[in-house]
């Protein structure tokens, strides 16, 4: 029996998500409300009358030509990518009707992000690779060149199938950030571990910094929507210090309203020291997965380690909520100590988790002339 893809209601989509251990928060029907300038649509994969998969597609219209768009499913869709639930179906059975549906909606290109892990490197392996590179320029300068501790053969087969079906992938870039969403992430496993186990897995510096924050009087409390106004100036300060373009306060307010419209998924944490805000973070929880989403800190309060205190509170709360994974999100592929993004992996590896490589984002051209024109427009835009 072939699969069909058609639009479903937000309620149908939510009901599907409720049956899953977790899906990416970027695949929630509510996420479409966050992305101003995009049209959103919930899609369902049907086997006869039975819903067997779902996803959120975002349509980015071509400027002044809204009948044509890029169709993007960030970290999705939520389908049986590896054939574990429907072994009689092939990947083409899932993706061909998706491409046909997107084309019928006027899309010239489809972009997907299979939420499928390819490889993992344990913290000790990453630390050893970082130390080796620091000692010798002949050592691997990228994590992807280091032998992994775990590899998924089914996921590698899926990648080969994607290529055979005509899907293509951009190079990962100089540090592994070639995709819109991160291809490399750092995750901390929480399942079947006590908080004492998790704390003991941190390196000595992390444990010391958490204790230092407590002794210095750093107080971490949950925030509400109104506290986003206090978070935002610290976030803007962080953006200036770390050289990235900050999002606006209305963006975060919209994110709060959307993700918390069906129960609280977005959590704000505030770390105060000596009566003022020293740092703040945002965490998203869907099912048994928690994501560290945004962080902000003042330069003046770095010595009292509010960021470590915030991480420990978020990890503790994720554990209390029954999450199996605490996701620290993106890291760079680089091991080069001279690279400005190498500090990301240095900070996150100290939790004792693992680095993970996802399959990344893949594109399928649906209308070649339009796709070439859009790429030319994007290159001129920079």
- The string of DSSP codes covering 20-72 is SS---GGGSTTHHHHSTT-EEEEEEEEETTEEEEEEEEEEEEETTEEEEEEEE
Query: What is d(CA 301, CA 307) in angstroms, rounded to the nearest whole number?
Result: 10
Residue 67 is predicted with a pLDDT of 87
Predicted local distance difference test score (pLDDT) of residue 179: 57
For position 172, what pLDDT does the model report?
57
Note the CATH number of domain 191-323: 3.40.630.30
Q: What is the pLDDT of residue 344?
A: 86
| pTM of the shown model | 0.94
Say what the pLDDT of residue 370 is: 78
pLDDT tens for the chain, 382 residues long, are: 699 999 999 999 999 999 999 999 999 999 999 999 999 999 999 999 999 999 999 999 988 778 899 999 999 999 999 999 999 999 999 999 999 999 999 999 999 999 999 999 999 999 999 999 999 999 999 999 999 999 999 999 999 999 999 999 987 544 443 458 999 999 999 999 999 999 999 999 999 999 999 999 999 999 999 999 999 999 999 999 988 999 999 999 999 999 999 999 999 999 999 999 999 999 999 999 999 999 999 999 999 999 999 999 999 999 999 999 999 999 999 999 988 888 889 999 999 999 999 999 999 999 988 778 777 766 676 5
For position 176, what pLDDT does the model report?
Answer: 40
Length of the chain: 382
Neighbours of 227 (CB within 10 A): 17
C-alpha span between 169 and 176 (Å, rounded): 13
Output phi, psi for 330, to 5 deg.
-70, 145
Q: What is the residue-wise DSSP string for 291-340?
A: EEEEEEE-STTGGG-HHHHHHHHHHHHHHHTT-SEEEEEE--SB--TTST
Q: What is the pLDDT of residue 66?
A: 82
Ranges for all domains in the chain classified under CATH 3.40.630.30:
3-113+361-381, 191-323
Q: How far apart are CA 252 and CA 248, in angstroms?
A: 7
Q: How far apart are CA 232 and CA 252, in angstroms?
A: 9
The pLDDT assigned to 381 comes to 64
Assigned superfamily of 3-113+361-381:
Gcn5-related N-acetyltransferase (GNAT) (3.40.630.30)
């Amino acid at each position: 029996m072939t699969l069909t893809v058609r639009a479903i209601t937000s309620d149908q989509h939510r009901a599907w998500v409720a049956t899953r251990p977790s899906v990416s928060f970027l695949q929630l029907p509510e996420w479409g409300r966050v992305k101003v300038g995009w049209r959103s649509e919930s899609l369902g994969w049907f086997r006869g009358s039975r819903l067997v998969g779902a996803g959120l597609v975002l349509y980015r219209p071509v400027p002044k030509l809204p009948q044509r768009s890029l169709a993007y499913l960030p970290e999705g869709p939520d389908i049986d990518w590896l054939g574990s639930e429907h072994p009689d179906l092939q990947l083409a059975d899932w993706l061909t009707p998706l491409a046909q549906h997107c084309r019928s909606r006027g899309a010239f290109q489809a972009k997907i992000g299979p939420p499928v892990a390819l490889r993992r490197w344990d913290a000790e392996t990453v630390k050893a690779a970082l130390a080796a590179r620091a000692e010798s320029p002949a050592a691997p300068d990228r994590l992807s060149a280091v032998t992994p501790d775990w590899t998924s053969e089914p996921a590698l087969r899926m990648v080969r199938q994607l290529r055979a079906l005509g899907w293509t992938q951009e190079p990962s870039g100089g540090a592994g950030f070639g995709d819109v969403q991160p291809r490399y992430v750092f995750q901390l496993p929480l399942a079947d571990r006590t908080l004492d186990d998790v704390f003991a897995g941190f390196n000595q510096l992390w444990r010391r910094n958490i204790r230092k924050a407590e002794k210095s009087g750093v107080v971490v409390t949950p925030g509400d929507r109104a506290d986003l106004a206090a978070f935002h100036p610290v976030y803007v300060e962080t953006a200036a210090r770390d050289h990235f373009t900050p999002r606006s306060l209305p963006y975060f307010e919209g994110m709060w309203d959307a993700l918390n419209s069906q129960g609280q998924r977005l959590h704000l944490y505030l770390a105060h020291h000596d009566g003022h805000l020293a740092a703040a973070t945002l965490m998203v929880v869907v099912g048994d997965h928690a994501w560290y989403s945004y962080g902000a800190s003042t330069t003046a309060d770095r010595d009292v380690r509010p960021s470590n205190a915030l991480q420990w509170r978020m990890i503790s709360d994720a554990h209390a909520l029954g999450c199996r994974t605490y996701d620290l999100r993106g890291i760079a592929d680089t091991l080069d100590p001279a690279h400005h993004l190498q500090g990301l992996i240095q900070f996150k590896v100290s939790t004792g988790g693992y680095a993970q490589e996802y399959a990344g984002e893949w594109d399928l051209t649906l209308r070649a002339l339009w796709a070439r024109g859009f790429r030319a427009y994007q290159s001129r835009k920079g």
